[in-house]
Each structure stands twice: as C-alpha cells, then as structure tokens.
Amino acid sequence: MAYSEKVIEHAENPRNVGTLDKNDPNVGTGLVGAPACGDVMRLQIRVGDNGVIEDAKFKTFGCGSAIASSSLATEWIKGKTIDEAETIKNVDIVNELNLPPVKIHCSVLAEDAIKTAIADYRRKKEARTA
Amino acid sequence: MWVRPFVHDVTAVTERVFTSLGWVTAMNPFEVLGLPAVFALDLKAVEKRHRELSRTLHPDKFVGAGASERRHALGKAVEANEAFRVVRDPVARAEALLRLAGAAVGEGAEPTAAPEFLMEVMEWREALAEARATRDGAAVATLAREVGGRAQASEAILAAAFVGRAPDRAQLELARIQLAALRFYRRFLEEVAAIEEAWQDEAAP
C-alpha cells in the first residue's frame, strides 16, 4: 500500500516527539491503544491558565499513518484552546493526510488521544479546585 | 490490459477477490481442515493436514477433469489455504472461534484496554526502543521473555475457553479480553523479531 506524501513527510520528520512531565498539574496525558493491531499512542498537552495549549508532545509505536496522525494532531492543537482542540475530528486528519480506508483507525486513535489528554487535564484541574 | 494468467495466478487472484469480499469469514476454517474447533491445536499436525489436502486438490491432479470439477477443486484449494492461514495464527484462530460462538469480532467490537494495561504496553515499547537504540541484546531478550510469558498466559486462557463446546457468557467475555491483550503482546513480539532480524542482517558478512 502506498502512503501519501504527507504521511511520509510526517512519518519521516515527526513533529513534537517527546514527553511532558505527567505529574505536572498543567499537563494532561492521553494514552490510547488500537485493539485491532496492538499499537499504542501517547499524546500530552501542557495548558496555560487561559486554557490555551502551550505545548504538545507525542510518542507513537505504530505504523507510518499512526505516527503521521499523532504528529499532525500535536501540530494542530498547539496554540488552540482546549475547547477548540476538542472539536478536531478524525475525518479532518483523514482528509489532510489522504488516509486510505484501512488506515482510518489511525486517525480515530489520534482523535481519542486528544480527547483523553484533555479529559485528564480537566480531571486534574477539578481535583485541584475541589 | 487482460493477460491470460497461469493456473497459479488464478489461485492468487481468486484468493484476493474472495478475501476482499469477506467471503472467507463465512467459512469454518476448522471444518475445512477437518479439525476440532478448539484453541489448543498441534500445529505440526495442522500443517501436515493442510499439506495433504493441498496435494489432493492441486490443479495438476485435475488436468483431465471437466471445467466445473477443476473450478470446484480450485475453490476448495483456496479455501484450504485460507483456513490454514487462520488456524495457524493464534490471534486469527481465536477470532474464528469467537465468531463461531456468535461473538462480534473486529474493529469497533473490541473491548477498550484499561489505562493501566496501556501504560504497561507503552513502557515495554519504550524500553524496547531504548534497547534497540543502545544495541542491548540482553534487555531485548528479557523483555521478549516477559511479554512472551504474558502471551502464553493469554493463550492458556483462550485454550480453556475453547475446548470444542460452546463457551458460556463469562468465558466468552474473558476470551474477548484475552484476545485483545494478545494482539498487543503479539505486536510487541513481532517488533522483537524485526529487531533480531535486523541485527542478524547487519552481522552477516
């Protein structure tokens, strides 16, 4: 199967690979797995007091499409508020990367990772203010 | 352009067409190979059974036969190959057994992995990447042993769930969870195999 140029570009030069301190109260971590293929993806956000995502990092063990999807996701959410980031849909990733049908689950994984990271951040914040 | 293919090519093409139509999911791979529908199978015996079946169905044996008989044999040969592909692989075999038991299998039907489990898998994958980068063969072997042990434990539970009679609801649920975990273990072990192969290739003169 041929990868699109954008997938290859992201897979060869992934943006924002790395780790944020998961114990930092301003960091939300989203860890998701693809049950159909056994790959894992971690996406982390650091959120400022104004609700803007200041930094995003990811680590993905999976195929080129999974790496590209998470790489693109971190690029997109940086500088957005968490509410804006939450509206990103997997189809946006599919369209941007020209993912074929068999790789759609990679974009679903990236969307889930964003949502899980945001939920984790919110949970931490609520625990602090409660 | 349509080139008249050789008999072997016909097999390949037919196989692809059938697979893309999802036709193969409808067959019972155990029945095709004349095996009991259980998880714990002697793979050497399975391989022998498949080889024998393939020999009797080989196109060379049907050179003088009529067109419909040849077609029938070809269809059976394709079916036997597909059944063997399913039965020899623990994940595909468990999927087939779940389907036979009436459980939904495939994307969207998989149980969601617990965060603790995913964290463990992530740590293994990171440790493996680190071991690869530092060329630490002992660390790779240790990880492979640990994950391999977990895969074996999952397979043992699947073996207990599928013994030839319909599993009850609790067994079925347990089997679905173990199969989901097994996919992560197998994926990890594939990665180990890829690393070992790459190192071997480098070491080759």
* Residue-level pLDDT at B3: 33
Q: Contact at 8 Å (CB) between A108 and A32? A: no
* Residue-level pLDDT at B73: 87
Contact status of A59 with chain B (Cβ, < 8 Å): yes
Residue B198 lies in a domain: yes
Active-site residue (options: A32, A56, A66, A106): A106
Q: Contact at 8 Å (CB) between A42 and A58? A: yes
Structure tokens at B154: 């999952």
Counting residues of chain A whose pLDDT is more than 70, the rounded percentage is 98
Q: Domain containing A16 — which CATH number?
A: 3.90.1010.10
Residue A129 lies in a domain: no
Query: Which residue on chain B is closest to A102 by alpha carbon?
Result: B107
Same domain membership, residue B140 and residue B75: no
Digits of tens for pLDDT over chain B (205 positions)? Answer: 333 333 333 344 444 444 444 444 568 999 999 999 999 999 999 999 999 999 998 888 888 888 888 888 888 899 999 999 999 999 999 999 999 998 888 767 788 888 899 999 999 999 999 999 999 999 999 999 999 999 999 999 999 999 988 888 899 999 999 999 999 999 999 999 999 999 999 887 7
Catalytic residue at A63? no
Same domain membership, residue B121 and residue B79: no
CB atoms B187 and A38 under 8 Å: yes
- Where a domain ends, among B88, B107, B138? B88
In this model, does residue A126 exceed pLDDT 50? yes
Burial B166-194 (b: 16+ CB within 10 A, else e): ebeeebbebbbbbbbbbbbbbbbbebbee
Number of domains within chain A? 1
Residues of B in Cβ contact (< 8 Å) with A36:
106-107, 110, 183
Give the domain extent around A16. 5-124
Q: Contact at 8 Å (CB) between B147 and B123? A: no
Q: What ipTM was predicted for this assembly?
A: 0.88
In this model, does residue A108 exceed pLDDT 60? yes
Distance from CA of A31 to the nearest CA of B (A): 7
Q: What is the pLDDT of residues A32-73, one digit of tens each?
A: 998 888 899 999 999 999 999 999 999 999 989 999 999 999
Active-site residue (options: A19, A21, A37, A89): A37
Catalytic residue at A106? yes
Contact status of A61 with chain B (Cβ, < 8 Å): yes
- Three-state secondary structure of B40-102: CCCHHHHHHHHHHHHHHHCHHHHCCCCHHHHHHHHHHHHHHHHHHHHHHCHHHHHHHHHHHCC
Give the domain extent around B172. 115-203
Residue B20 lies in a domain: yes
